[in-house]
Amino acid sequence: MGYTIAEKILMAHAGKKDIFPGGFIEAKVDIALGNDITAPIAIEEFKKSGALRVFDNKKIVLVPDHFAPAKDLRSANQCKILANFAKEQKIKNYFEIGCMGIEHALLPEKGLVLPGDLIIGADSHTCTYGALGAYATGVGSTDLARAFIDGKCWFKVPPSVKFIYKGKLNKWVGGKDLILYTIGNIGVDGAIYKAMEFCGPVISGLCMDDRFAMSNMAIEAGGRAGIITADKITLKYVKPVAKRKYKLYKSDPDAAYEKIYEYDVSSLEPQVACPHLPSNVKPVSSLKDIVLDQVVIGSCTNGRISDLRIAAKILKGKKVKTGLRLIIIPATQKIYLQAVKEGLAEIFVEAGGIFSTPTCGPCLGGHMGILAEGERCLATTNRNFIGRMGSPKSEVYLSNPAVAAASAIRGRITHPDKI
């Protein structure tokens, strides 16, 4: 019996010759990531352990992105803990505001996460990097602290579930719609502690930005990882930015999967996740008269340059509905600059939106767009739990950037074809 890509990566990093789902392993990690919410706890535990130096100052990445630029004194103190630790330990990959971005867009952009890597991050959306053909997963802050000390972490080997996508995508449909449709089909508990493997001709045709969006939301189905085997599109993205050697893995033809799903997505239209779960998914055409107070385009799911280009294409020469707030947040400084150079930022501002510095901001109810009681938001973010973006009595809907931009113009959830 062969092995899946997830099993091969874990086996290689554990130094084992055999591996099986449900087994426990200890493995060396290539990257250990923390942000301004999770890393301070890890740093405190690191110091409590008596350790003096981190295992490798090039393999630890610290990104203050959730509440940065600091929104208040507490968030400023959190960021300061990261800055001090980075200085003390001579961390090479510490990204202060001005050079930082939303972590899960920043690390691939910088070539810090690569195919075949084993990556842990004290953030649930670390699974984003699976789009590169890596095994990337979220861990707790104490696990991160342990990795700071010796570069290792324990793992329970997950069973793998394969998702095969066939057909031809319609206009305005992309990776965000594929993953929302999948989560709607299997539920938020449909892949608990599983490695989700996305493949098929539709996946092979997706650009990297769409692949990142899919892998990013594997956790919303309970997945430990969301992996796409590296191919020519991956290598075209990776080769110019890679800062070290990497290795390509793929599943064996006789690899064992717990379950296999096959979808023909030829008739799929843009999808919208309705309150209060990412699995409460409906086609956009079925949603009538859902009036909005706010639209957010950004996040580690859909804040990349292709997302902004799609939004700008729809918003160009048009105005946001009076009374609606449109917030655009590019995921990194590089994307910010590119949006300025291409005139996208000007389109957003002239349409009546705001164009922000990179930050997680409103995605987790941090800042830059908190919802008041009774307000309703459509966002390109990844979660719409009760109170996720502010008041427990507010509502969050999730969509792709095209639907978000069209809806900002109409003031209610709208199919892009209607604009």
Alpha carbon distance 143, 10 (integer Å): 17
Chain centroid to Cα 174, Å, comes to: 15
Pairing state between β 294-297 and 259-264: unpaired
Give the whole-number percent of the chain exceeding pLDDT 90.
99
* pLDDT tens, position by position, 359-404: 999 999 999 999 999 999 999 999 999 999 999 999 999 999 999 9
Average pLDDT (34-43) is 96
On the 0-12 / 13-18 / 19+ scale of CB atoms within 10 A, 318 is middle
Give yes or no for residue 1 having a pLDDT over 90: no
In order of their start, the domains of the chain are 5-262 (3.30.499.10), 271-418 (3.30.499.10)
pLDDT of residue 243: 86
Give yes or no for residue 39 having a pLDDT over 90: yes
pTM: 0.95
* pLDDT tens, position by position, 3-23: 999 999 999 999 999 999 999
- 271-289 b/e with 16+ CB inside 10 Å = b? bbbbbebbbbbebbeebee
Amino acid at position 291, single letter: V
| 1 against 233, higher pLDDT | 233
Alpha carbon distance 271, 411 (integer Å): 18
Let me know how many helices (H) and strands (E) the chain has, helices first.
14, 18
Q: Determine contact, residues 399/381, Cβ cutoff 8 Å.
A: no
Give yes or no for residue 59 having a pLDDT over 90: yes
Assign residue 222 a region: left if phi > 0, alpha if psi is -120 to 50, beta otherwise?
Answer: left
H-type alpha helices, 69-127: 73-89, 103-109
Q: Determine contact, residues 134/111, Cβ cutoff 8 Å.
A: no
CB atoms within 10 A of CB 397: 24
Which tokens hold the place of 159? 């069973």
Which tokens hold the place of 23? 């087994």
**Measured CA angle at 315 (ends 312, 317), to 5 deg:** 115
Q: What is the mean pLDDT of the chain?
A: 97
pLDDT of residue 195: 98
Amino acid at position 267, single letter: S
pLDDT of residue 33: 98
pLDDT of residue 288: 86
Q: From the CA atom positions of the chain, what is the Rg in Å?
A: 20
Average pLDDT (129-146) is 97
Give the whole-number percent of the chain exceeding pLDDT 70.
100
Please give the full DSSP string across 210-223, using - where no structure is assigned. Answer: HHHHHHHGGGGGT-
Give yes or no for residue 191 having a pLDDT over 90: yes
- For 30-176, strand residue ranges (E) read 31-35, 60-63, 93-94, 118-121, 135-138, 152-156, 160-166
Give yes or no for residue 51 having a pLDDT over 90: yes
Average pLDDT (294-322) is 97
**φ/ψ of residue 379, rounded to 5:** -135, 155
Alpha carbon distance 5, 249 (integer Å): 6
Average pLDDT (162-186) is 97
Confidence bin at 194 (pLDDT 50/70/90):
very high
* pLDDT tens, position by position, 74-101: 999 999 999 999 999 999 999 999 999 9
Give yes or no for residue 222 having a pLDDT over 90: yes
